[in-house]
């Protein structure tokens, strides 16, 4: 993050699964975090199932604790997320809602959550991962019950909730994967953004998750042109969940580590070449010990800048060089 500062306002951050996990009390981990990152994204603490476990019963304890740690480290926080298909509470998924009733649930969740955390959030991922790879809306309780209006309403409610507390500067983002390179899905995002603009609803930025595979990372030209297209649509761009996993073991041979370093370099370079509206780069965990990858992609791993004993890998130095 301190190297990135020479580009003006560019910041570098990381996801962290705090509180309630081994990370929370791991002094060596926290030291590396504090030293290297100027932003933190809660990997879980602010998700629906934790913030509203039962209808209209809110629990912001984890989110508040996360913010306390981030504020102690002078790290801004991308608050994550409000409306998503995953990690929802049972009351949402197990009720047979009318569109009107579920819209009120969504509105209440957005208002209470956004207003509780207020200006302590740099930004909110308002809707997370709404699209299939062909650009259509994916099936979720939100889409299946409310239809595509749920998407536009989510931003409208977030905007209204912030306006009510005078927190107009908290930015509203759409966050997804598979939208880092040109294609149907990226085009669909641009379509949603222009529909929001048409309805005079605010959206400030797009989060490009960038969960990549070593050797299969989109090219610099593709990553750059996609970022430029979002910027042209008047959006800020953040790389929000960068990690580049190995699809094979062993993860740590010199050759694959060099390829991984080159792939990290490409992503970071695309942000810098896109110019000042690529405002941030966030890795989704910075060390392999706490990475979500092996738990989600069987047999894969080694995706982060530091290995599982907190040694910096070639990828770490490649990022520094790209910055
Ligand atoms: C992941 C977390 O890292 C895990 O701890 C959790 O079990 C599942 O979710 N896209 C997102 C993130 O937007 O919220 C996901 O985080 C990773 C994929």
**DSSP of 230-282, one letter per residue?**
HHHTT-EEEEEEEEEEBSSS-TT-HHHHHHHHHHHHHHHHHHHHH-TTEEEEE
pLDDT of 59 reads 98
pLDDT of 55 reads 98
Angle, CA of 37, 42 and 47, to the nearest 5°: 165
Q: Which of 123, 128, 212, 241 has most ligand 1 atoms within 8 Å of CB, for mutation?
A: 241
Choosing from 52, 129, 180, 209, the catalytic residue is 129
Q: Which atom of ligand 1 is nearest to the CA of 80?
A: 14
Q: Phi, psi at residue 259, to the nearest 5°?
A: -65, -40
Separation CA 33–CA 37 (nearest Å): 6
pLDDT of 145 reads 98
Lining residues, ligand 1, CB within 6 Å? 17, 43-44, 128, 209, 241, 292
Residue 52 appears among annotated catalytic residues: no
pLDDT of 253 reads 87
Domains of the chain: 4-322 (3.20.20.80)
pLDDT by position in tens, the chain (length 323): 999 998 789 999 999 999 999 999 999 999 999 999 999 999 999 999 999 999 999 999 999 999 999 999 999 999 999 999 999 999 999 999 999 999 999 999 999 999 999 999 999 999 999 999 999 999 999 999 999 999 999 999 999 999 999 999 999 999 999 999 999 999 999 999 999 999 999 999 999 999 999 999 999 999 999 999 999 999 999 999 999 999 887 887 889 999 999 999 999 999 999 999 999 999 999 999 999 999 999 999 999 999 999 999 999 999 999 99
Q: Which atom of ligand 1 is nearest to the CA of 284?
A: 3
Separation CA 323–CA 321 (nearest Å): 5
Residue 129 appears among annotated catalytic residues: yes
Angle, CA of 186, 292 and 315, to the nearest 5°: 75
Residue 50: half-sphere exposure toward Cβ, Cα within 13 Å: 20
Q: Note whether ipTM > 0.90 here.
A: yes
pLDDT of 187 reads 98
Q: Label residue 308 exposed, middle or buried (CB < 10 Å: 0-12, 13-18, 19+).
A: middle
- Using the structure block, give the residue that is written with the tokens 């790290």: 75
Q: Which atom of ligand 1 is nearest to the CA of 177?
A: 10
For 151-198, the three-class secondary structure string (H helix, E strand, C coil) is HHHHHHHHHHHHHHCCCCCCEEEEEECCCCCCCHHHHHHHHHHHHHHH
Pick the closest to residue 280 from 76, 118, 84, 33 (CA basis): 76
DSSP-derived 3-state class of residue 55: coil
Q: Is the peptide bond before 81 cis (omega within 30 degrees of 0)?
A: yes
pLDDT of 252 reads 79
pLDDT of 81 reads 98
Treating both helix axes as pointing N-terminal to C-terminal, what angle do 314-322 and 254-274 enclose, rounded to 10 degrees? Answer: 20
| Beta-bridge mates of residue 237 | 206, 278
């Amino acid at each position: 993050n301190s190297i990135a500062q020479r580009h003006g306002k560019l910041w570098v951050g990381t996801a962290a699964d705090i509180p309630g996990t081994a990370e929370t009390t791991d002094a060596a981990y926290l030291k590396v975090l504090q030293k290297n990152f100027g932003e933190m994204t809660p990997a879980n603490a602010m998700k629906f199932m934790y913030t509203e476990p039962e209808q209209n019963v809110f629990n912001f304890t984890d989110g508040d604790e996360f913010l306390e740690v981030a504020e102690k480290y002078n790290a801004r926080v991308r608050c994550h997320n409000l409306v998503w298909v995953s990690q929802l509470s049972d009351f949402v998924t197990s009720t047979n809602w009318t569109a009107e009733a579920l819209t009120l649930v969504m509105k209440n969740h957005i208002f209470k959550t956004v207003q509780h955390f207020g200006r302590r959030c740099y930004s909110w991922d308002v809707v997370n991962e709404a699209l299939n790879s062909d650009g259509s809306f994916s099936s979720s309780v939100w889409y299946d019950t409310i239809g595509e209006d749920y998407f536009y309403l989510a931003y409208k409610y977030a905007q209204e909730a912030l306006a009510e507390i005078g927190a107009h500067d908290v930015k509203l983002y759409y966050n997804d994967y598979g939208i880092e390179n040109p294609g149907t899905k990226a085009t669909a995002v641009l379509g949603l953004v222009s529909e929001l603009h048409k309805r005079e609803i605010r959206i400030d930025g797009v989060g490009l998750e960038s969960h990549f595979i070593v050797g299969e990372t989109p090219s610099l030209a593709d990553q750059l042109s996609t970022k430029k297209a979002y910027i042209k649509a008047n959006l800020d761009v953040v790389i929000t969940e960068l990690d580049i996993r190995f699809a094979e073991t062993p993860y740590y041979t010199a050759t694959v580590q060099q390829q991984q370093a080159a792939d990290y370099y490409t992503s970071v370079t695309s942000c810098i070449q896109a110019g000042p509206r690529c405002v941030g780069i966030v890795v989704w965990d910075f060390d392999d010990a706490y990475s979500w990858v092996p738990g989600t992609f069987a047999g894969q791993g080694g995706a982060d800048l530091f290995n599982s004993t907190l040694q910096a890998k070639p990828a770490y130095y490649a990022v520094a060089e790209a910055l």
